[in-house]
Amino acid sequence: MRSIDFAPLYRSAVGFDRLFNMFESMDRADDSSYPPYNIEKTRDDGYQITLAVAGFAESDLSIEVKEDQLAISGGIGQTQDEKRVFLHRGIASRSFRRAWRLADHVEVIGARLERGLLHVDLERRVPEAKKARQINISTSSPPKTIEAETVN
């Protein structure tokens, strides 16, 4: 699936370029597994992204939403590590950047850092104008009664 060419679809479909661009960007997605994360559905319209960010303080983390992209980044100053001598270094403390494309009407509603886990809460909030609504059917004129003459 790494070599799909969407060019023929651009010629025959109008308005789907964002969708095709999303598929193409998935091919170029960063395959890094640091930091590990979960994506969880918490309610019908609620989601939560949880990142394992042990060792990071709130001031080391940044959450940014721009258009339909959520980006979480973190960086710990390297000046502290320069003074330390490690015999074994198994705890990662490197900088990272993770990004997710958000679906239409999905908004970040909060974030909290607890016990080394960063929880980012998201909610799908569809505007009233976009929600399905029931349309009543009315008649424009009262029903007509057909009277027939009887022939004798």
pLDDT in tens, 40-55: 999 998 999 999 998 8
Of residues 129 and 141, which shows the higher confidence score?
129
Q: How many percent of the chain have pLDDT more than 90?
A: 37
| Residue 114: per-residue pLDDT | 95
List the structure tokens of 96: 């990272």
| Residue 135: per-residue pLDDT | 86
| Residue 19: per-residue pLDDT | 65
Mean pLDDT, the chain, whole residue set: 81
In DSSP notation, the chain reads -TT---HHHHHH-SS-HHHHHHHHHHHT------S-EEEEE-SSSEEEEEEE-TT--GGGEEEEEETTEEEEEE---THHHHT---S---S----EEEEEEPPTTEEEEEEEEETTEEEEEEEE---GGGS--------SSPPPPP--PPP-
Q: How many percent of the chain have pLDDT more than 70?
A: 70
Domain boundaries, the chain: 1-31, 32-128
The architecture CATH gives domain 32-128: Sandwich (2.60)
Q: How many CB atoms lie within 10 A of CB 35?
A: 20
The owner of tokens 């969708």 is 19
Average pLDDT over residues 57-76: 92
| Residue 129: per-residue pLDDT | 82
List the structure tokens of 52: 């394992």
| Residue 23: per-residue pLDDT | 65
The owner of tokens 């929600």 is 131
| Residue 123: per-residue pLDDT | 94
Handedness of CA 96, 4, 21, 18 (dihedral sign): negative
| Residue 68: per-residue pLDDT | 87
| Residue 76: per-residue pLDDT | 76
- Its pTM stands at 0.65
